[in-house]
Homo-oligomer: A and B are copies of this chain.
Amino acid sequence: MKKHKISIVGFDADDTLWVNEPFFRESEFQFADLFSGYMGRDLVIRELFQIEMKNLELYGYGIKSFMLSMIETAYKITGDAITKETIAKIIEIGREQLQKPVQLLDGVEEVLHKLSSHGYKLIVATKGDLLDQERKLRKSGLEKYFHHIEIMSDKKESDYQKLLSKLDIKASEFIMIGNSLKSDVIPVLNIGGAGIHVPFHTTWQHEEISSDGVNEYIEVESITGVIPMLIC
């Protein structure tokens, strides 16, 4: 990585700045336990994942889509035995998840503070539900560090290209930091930017990808590992 060229640092939000995926896992467990009389947890979660994948193109990412897919899975599993309680419980699982406090990951504030003090322009580039992501950013107290916040319906190469062109940023000046190789690192490498992968202990199946054949990227164990990469 040619440090001297990079001037804009993009951060993924969920599971890069703050905890997210474990809340989905927790909701899935609560959801699965509603159907313990029908099938085991793993099977319920597998059904749910299939329905989420079927709905992804139409609904997009985020908790409301997840709620709608849980409801669809529920009547697929229980058939005519679906009850008011089950539906109400699913709505409650989703509403609770929407209202979780934001838990910053260790070292995040230090990294943002140091990079912005060193003259980097910081942006957030995150997928998910517009209102929910805005709310999390507000709750996080991190907004002040960011020059720009982009909530995206997807993170493919063309989405990053649009973003960089909108912000008048050359790919060679841009580095993206995130926990998803598939969404945060690979598409940015493919358009000529740089990427740092900061793995998180829990990854949604949909974001899993093999790193075989992927261009060179950097992996650090925790987000503070990016500091020596970007600050001499």
B82 touches A131 (CB 8 A): no
- Contact for A82 among B59, B87, B95, B98, CB less than 8 A: B87
A153 touches B166 (CB 8 A): no
Q: A59-B131, A82-B84 are in contact. Are A91 and B65 (CB under 8 A)?
A: no
A225 shortest CB reach to chain B, Å: 31
- Map CB proximity to B onto A124-142 as digits: 1 under 8 Å, 0 otherwise: 0000011110100000000
- Contact for A151 among B75, B130, B166, CB less than 8 A: B130
Q: A64-B68, A68-B64, A166-B148 are in contact. Are A75 and B58 (CB under 8 A)?
A: no
Instruction: Give A54 to B44 CA distance when docked, in angstroms.
Output: 30
Number of residues on chain A facing chain B (CB within 8 A): 33
Copies per assembly: 2
Instruction: Give A60 to B134 CA distance when docked, in angstroms.
Output: 11
Closest chain B residue to A131, Cβ basis: B60
A205 shortest CB reach to chain B, Å: 20
Q: Is chain A's interface secondary structure helix, strand, loop, or mixed overall?
A: helix
Report if A99 contacts B (CB, 8 A). Answer: yes
A159 shortest CB reach to chain B, Å: 10
Report if A83 contacts B (CB, 8 A). Answer: yes
- Contact for A72 among B60, B64, B80, B91, CB less than 8 A: B91
A144 shortest CB reach to chain B, Å: 14
A129 shortest CB reach to chain B, Å: 7
B68 touches A65 (CB 8 A): no
Q: Can you list 24 A-B contacts (CB < 8 A)?
A: A58-B98, A59-B64, A59-B98, A60-B132, A64-B64, A64-B65, A67-B68, A68-B68, A68-B91, A71-B71, A71-B91, A75-B84, A75-B88, A78-B84, A80-B83, A80-B84, A82-B83, A82-B84, A82-B87, A87-B87, A130-B130, A130-B153, A131-B153, A134-B153
List 9 additional A-B contacts (Cβ < 8 Å) besides A82-B84, A130-B151.
A64-B65, A71-B71, A71-B91, A72-B91, A75-B87, A75-B88, A80-B83, A130-B130, A134-B153
